[in-house]
Structure 1
Amino acid sequence: MATTDSSIFEDVLIALADPTRRELLDLIALSEQATATTLATKVTVSRQAVVKHLTILKDARLVSSNRVGREVRYMLCPQQLSSTAEWMANLAADWDRKLEWIKRIAED
């Protein structure tokens, strides 16, 4: 994979490492779209913290935003999650092949 691809996946993994961001993703997925104000009423952190978390999720391409009047509405971007899962599956398969090769050498 290209370095750019790896850095995108790194951003996703960093974003998903935080339980508050995972909770925000779940809430957005359940409602299809949500504002920072609405999300802040459903989590234990401030609206300002929610906005910071949403920025990280947006930078990782896990959510997108759309301004409607004075509100910014956030929507889930499932394709980024799918791409990251596929990358992880390929990485695991590569390691499985390498470990199998090492096992065969050790047994010979």
Structure 2
Amino acid sequence: MIAEQTHRIFWALGDETRQALLDWLVAEGKGTATELSGRLPISRQAVSRHLAEMEAAGLLSSEHVGRETIFRPSPDAFEVALTWLSRRARMWDSTLQRLKAHAEDRAQS
């Protein structure tokens, strides 16, 4: 479950348009597809598709108000991504420390 969620989060973050939309939503706190489509050279429908992908990945939550849907960043998804990255960083630190120790041992031999 967590692996699938992590995959969806990073897949959603892998698109420059979605990154731009997410940056704007984080800065503003919320927004609609109509508002966001005015900020990018793409159609409202394209913005809506990108927002739906980010919502499916857990990066956004939405609330229907009248005829509009208001999107907000969802901090929980960022925690999942940060946890995943932190684990990988610790693994790499450990691997690099072992490699360094091995190289130093060989240099002293």
Instruction: Give the shorter-chain TM-score range.
Output: 0.7 to 0.9
Aligned to 2:57: 60
Measured on the aligned residues, the alpha-carbon RMSD in Å equals: 1.5
1:99 and 2:96 aligned:
yes
**TM-score w.r.t. structure 1 length?**
0.87
1:83 and 2:68 aligned:
no
The CA distance in 2 between the partners of 1:44 and 1:73, in whole Å, is 20
Please, which of 34, 38, 43 is the counterpart of residue 41 of structure 1?
A: 38
> 1:15-30 alignment to 2 at 5 Å?
15-30=12-27
**TM-score w.r.t. structure 2 length?**
0.86
Deviation at 1:106, TM superposition (A): 4.9
1:31 and 2:41 aligned:
no
Q: Helix, strand or coil for the counterpart of 1:75?
A: strand
Number of matched residues?
A: 105
The CA distance in 1 between the partners of 2:40 and 2:89, in whole Å, is 34
- Which one has the largest radius of gyration? 2
The CA distance in 2 between the partners of 1:31 and 1:89, in whole Å, is 27
Q: Percent identity at matched positions?
A: 35
Deviation at 1:105, TM superposition (A): 4.1
Q: Show structure 1 runs of 5+ residues with no match.
A: none
The CA distance in 1 between the partners of 2:60 and 2:17, in whole Å, is 14
